[in-house]
Amino acid sequence: MTQPVLFGLDRLIAEPALRAPLAGRRVALLAHPASVTPDLTHAIDALARLPEITLTAAFGPQHGLRGDKQDNMMESPDYLDPLLGIPVFSLYGEVRRPTPAMMTTFDVLLVDLQDLGCRIYTFITTLRYVLEEATKLGKAVWVLDRPNPAGRPIEGLRLREGWESFVGAGPLPMRHGLTMGELGHWFIARLGLQLEYRVIEMTNWQPEAAPGYGWPLGERCWVNPSPNAANLSMARAYAGTVMLEGATLSEGRGTTRPLELFGAPDIEARAVLTEMQRLAPHWLQGCRLRECWFEPTFHKHAGLQCNGLQIHVEDGAYDHAAFRPWRLQALAFKGIRNLYPDYPLWRDFPYEYEFKRLAIDLINGSPLLREWVDDPSSTPADLDAITIPDEQSWAAEREAFLLYK
């Protein structure tokens, strides 16, 4: 019989020896709605019950400690927790980094954030920022580790120098295959940080094991880490569908399956799929693609019927090793560009407080993906030629930081 997966939070609660070093120290928590125990108690409430832990502050990342903001780029305010009476500071409000005044409220910051395994997911950047600020002010950071629900596969171009942003914390590929605890070790090594850093590791996590391939499917409830991260299917597809945030196509926000589908009122999805199959059928393996129609209730194309495709990764056709969501979505862009050469594909708007660079380029960490899509002579082999070396170099680099062999 397989042993249950214990997350970092579970172990900190269950094992007094792990939390003994916190006695007599002021503790803060950085968390979001998915920061829960197996019985769905939120981390802030579970930790507040432990006699060794003195909670003096809490922090919320993008979308807030309690998940109060539905859309991207909606700021959350600071407030006082009504039950515990401690300040809750927003790291997606007036600031993105904790200020020195915020840092004076604690000695040790516990980070309990469920990630999606994708470079653009901003909790990664928030982790980097708190590590940097903790180094400056002599504070400790402990990560209560959680699974990477996308598992260990690597995919996508690495972020290029000079393209760092709130959606690009460093030269990671789009799909990096690390946990938050492992990423913390990588940031510390790469940036030369010196601080007390500790990972409360998971036990029994098997990222290559079916059927979850990273997520303990059937064992733990899925709680949305952000409002549109609705299920494991979204987490698997996200490394590709997140690029739709930089496109005029709907990514399904305003529907019940956001970031699992894409479309627009003025494309013929069946023709796009045929073109994708013609260009690179091997990029479409490991999933099923279904033509669909949907009408977003808000966001892009709200109230309009869109024709599109949904990515299905939940049945027996799912092949974790073969599924390549970043290439699949890139191929969809290419198919649309081939069929509709003048289609206004790229969305031009301020994205994560960047006003001069296109969102699609910020998302990909360089213009290389967009330039490949827009070049009428480029082929799938051309994109592979610049991407595969990035994937191989990352596989070698991350090896030293893997905590779960």
Same domain, 366 and 269: yes
Regarding whether 185 and 141 lie in a shared domain, the answer is: yes
Check residue 354 and give its pLDDT: 77
Using an 8 Å Cβ cutoff, are 15 and 43 in contact? no
Mean pLDDT confidence for 69-94: 79
What's the confidence (pLDDT) of residue 68?
Answer: 59
Domain edge (last residue) among 226, 257, 292 = 226
DSSP E strand stretches across 123-255: 140-144, 197-200
Residues 198 and 107 in one domain: yes
Residue 241 falls within a domain, yes or no?
yes
Q: Is residue 157 part of a domain?
A: yes
Band of the pLDDT at 401, cuts 50, 70, 90?
very high
How many whole angstroms separate alpha carbon 353 and alpha carbon 350?
A: 6
Least confident of 73-82, 263-272, 386-395: 73-82
Q: What is the CA radius of gyration of the chain?
A: 21
Q: How far from 136 is each of 103, 129, 216, CA to CA, in Å? A: 10, 11, 37
Do residues 188 and 263 share a domain?
A: no
Number of domains into which the chain is organized: 2
For residues 42 and 78, the model is more confident at 42
Residue 59 lies in a domain: yes
Let me know whether 220 and 237 are in one domain: no
Domain finish residue from 226, 241, 269: 226
State the CATH number of the domain containing residue 135: 3.40.50.12170
Q: Which of 2-6, 161-165, 167-171, 249-253 has the lowest mean pLDDT?
A: 2-6
- Bridging pattern class, strands 306-312 and 79-80: unpaired
- Smallest Cα–Cα separation from 241: which of 147, 163, 288, 311? 311
pLDDT at 69: 53
Residue type, 65: L
Residue for token digits 């799912």? 318
Query: Are 49 and 179 in a shared domain?
Result: yes
Same domain, 182 and 79: yes
User: What three-state secondary structure class fits 199?
Assistant: strand
Residue 142's DSSP bridge partners are: 110, 198
Residues near 397 by beta carbon (within 8 Å), at least 6 away in sequence: none
What range defines the domain where residue 168 resides? 8-226
239 lies in the same domain as 199: no
Question: Do 246 and 160 belong to one domain?
Answer: no
Q: Which of 75-89, 126-140, 214-228, 265-279 has the lowest mean pLDDT?
A: 75-89
Q: What is the pTM of this model?
A: 0.95
Is residue 70 very low, low, confident or very high in pLDDT (cuts 50, 70, 90)?
Answer: low
Note whether residue 356 is domain-resident: yes
**Phi-psi group of 53: left, alpha or beta (phi > 0 → left; psi -120 to 50 → alpha; rest → beta):** beta
36, two tokens: 């829960």
Q: List phi, psi (to 5°) of 294.
A: -155, 155
User: Is 368 part of any domain?
Assistant: yes
CA distance 252 to 256: 8
User: Which are the contacts of 308, defined by CB distance < 8 A and separation ≥ 6?
Assistant: 249, 250, 261, 262, 263, 264, 267, 269, 291, 292, 293, 294
Is 95 contained in some domain? yes
Residue at which a domain ends, from 193, 226, 259: 226
In a shared domain, residues 185 and 41: yes
Give the orientation angle of helix 232-241 with respect to helix 325-339, to 10 degrees.
50
| Three-state DSSP class for residue 238 | helix
The packing angle between helices 180-191 and 123-137, to 10°, is: 50
What are the residues whose beta carbons fall under 8 Å from the beta carbon of 332, sequence distance 6 or more? 262, 272, 276, 309
Q: Has residue 299 got a pLDDT over 80? A: yes
**Percent share of the chain, pLDDT over 70:** 98
User: Quick check: 185 pLDDT over 90?
Assistant: yes
Same-domain pairing of 187 and 272: no
Residues 328-352: what's their mean pLDDT? 95
pLDDT level of residue 130 (50, 70, 90 thresholds): very high
Looking up residue 356, the CATH number of its domain turns out to be 3.90.1150.140
Does residue 193 form part of some domain?
yes
Euclidean distance between CA atoms 289 and 237, whole angstroms: 12
Sort strands 87-90 and 79-80 into parallel, antiparallel or unpaired.
antiparallel
Predicted local distance difference test score (pLDDT) of residue 355: 77
**Residue 76, Ramachandran bin (φ over 0: left; ψ between -120 and 50: alpha; else beta):** beta
Structural domain includes residue 379: no
Distance CA 66, CA 376 (A): 46
In this structure, the answer to whether residues 276 and 220 fall within a common structural domain is: no
